[in-house]
Amino acid sequence: MKKLILVVSFVSALAACSSSDTDSTSQGDSFNRTTLLTHWADDLIIPAFQNYNSKLTVLTADVSTFNTNPSAENLALARTSWIEAYKAYQQVMLFNVGKAADINFKEAANTYPTDVAGIEQNITAGTYNLELLSQFSKQGFPALDYLLNGLGNSDTEIVGFYTTNAKANAYKNYLVDLVTALNSKGGAVLADWNGAYRNTFIASNGTAVSSSTNKMTNIFVKNFEKDIRTGKIGIAAGIFSNGNLFPEKVEAFFKKDISKVLLNTSIQAQQDFFNGNDFNGSGTGPSLKSYLDDVKAVRNGQNLSTIINDQFAVIFDSNQTLNDNFAQQVSSNNAKMIEAYDALQQNVIYFKLDMMQALNITIDYVDGDGD
């Protein structure tokens, strides 16, 4: 396994070097960033957060129903709405700008692996402040995963924690508090976009490092590299630990069978954003793709935007070979996880080296992976 990891690292490093040595060029930039930012705000970001908040509303209702009448049937309803809200989160995690960045939206919603011992300590204590940085790993969708799927080996055992357990009311309260926290942050972000921030975002239409286009493009690349490639695949697969595997660090560990769904949903959101696809699927608008085409960005004589979309197809093909249960995939055949990582890594290279250079945008986040 260690030899395999070394080969992967060598191939990735070689690809990174070769990318900078290929014919990657672009021409002058006269792209209308105002129309780009308007499309991003009105047709992608705001509708995505509207959808996310609507899914949280359903989750809130189903958790309330379960708490009122804890049963296997109502547990199943709460799980279903949790999955739908979790998928909706994958479609907004990319937009970590403005209020979302200010209130640590991503960290509070999806820090995993979740801290089981810390959650149990909070439940036992009955008092906790979920706004503290130390509480990120004790809340959000991963903590709900534990409370809805990981408390026992059967639905009957899990329901028992909310009925016959001596701390049943405390478990119910914590379940509600976690959903309330998600609602609070999701609602705050949407309200900000529906308020003054939309105009502020669009008005910052220049080319400075702090401009909205530059910031959002950096966030796009960082999310793909750090939150998707590294978080959903690389860490569990041992890419950054000399081949030591961590199946317990996969996303949705307790549910077991939705890790691939969450991965593919997040990647599709990235591709849709790259291509400027409306969130509701009604059309397309200005995008990073059209921006690259406008500056005539090419690599080895081919449009860079085409190369990137072709690589997205390779990524989805690679993901098809993965088990729905990533913990099981890591433990049984980790080579397929590494293949999926390598497919993602190739677009990291296209984004970070070729795209950013073509658009004359500087990477503004710390990169400690050597990519």
Same-domain status, 190 and 211: no
Same-domain status, 368 and 228: yes
| Residue 23 near residue 301, CB atoms below 8 Å | yes
Structural domain contains residue 42: no
Structural domain contains residue 37: no
Same-domain status, 235 and 354: yes
Same-domain status, 351 and 234: yes
Tell me the percentage of the chain whose pLDDT exceeds 70: 91
**Containing H/E element for 221?**
helix 212-222
Same-domain status, 125 and 257: no
Comparing 6 with 150, the larger pLDDT belongs to 150
Token pair, residue 204, equals 């910052």
Task: Domain of residue 98: give its range.
Answer: 50-205
| Residue 214 near residue 208, CB atoms below 8 Å | yes
Structural domain contains residue 245: yes
Structural domain contains residue 36: no
Position 123 scores a pLDDT of 98
Structural domain contains residue 146: yes
Same-domain status, 214 and 362: yes
Token pair, residue 300, equals 């080895």
Can you tell me the mean pLDDT for 129-136?
98
The number of beta carbons lying within 10 Å of the beta carbon of residue 168 is 16
Structural domain contains residue 327: yes
Q: How many domains does the chain have?
A: 2
Domain boundary pick from 149, 184, 205:
205
Position 27 scores a pLDDT of 57
| Residue 70 near residue 162, CB atoms below 8 Å | yes
Structural domain contains residue 38: no
pLDDT in tens, 12-60: 443 443 343 344 555 557 899 999 999 999 999 999 999 999 999 999 9
Angstrom distance (rounded) from CA 106 to CA 318: 27
Same-domain status, 67 and 194: yes
Domain boundary pick from 170, 205, 240:
205
Please name the residue ranges forming H helices in 95-192. Answer: 99-102, 105-109, 116-125, 140-145, 155-161, 168-192
Is the predicted pLDDT of residue 4 greater than 80, yes or no?
A: no
Angstrom distance (rounded) from CA 180 to CA 47: 21
Same-domain status, 133 and 193: yes
pLDDT in tens, 230-277: 999 999 999 999 999 999 999 999 999 999 999 999 999 999 999 999
Can you tell me the mean pLDDT for 281-291?
96
Domain boundary pick from 149, 178, 205:
205
Structural domain contains residue 41: no
Looking at residue 90, which CATH number applies to its domain?
1.20.1420.20
Tell me the percentage of the chain whose pLDDT exceeds 90: 89
Angstrom distance (rounded) from CA 29 to CA 293: 10
Same-domain status, 285 and 186: no
Same-domain status, 291 and 148: no
Angstrom distance (rounded) from CA 274 to CA 289: 6
Is the predicted pLDDT of residue 11 greater than 50, yes or no?
A: no
Same-domain status, 230 and 324: yes
| Residue 234 near residue 338, CB atoms below 8 Å | no
Same-domain status, 267 and 173: no
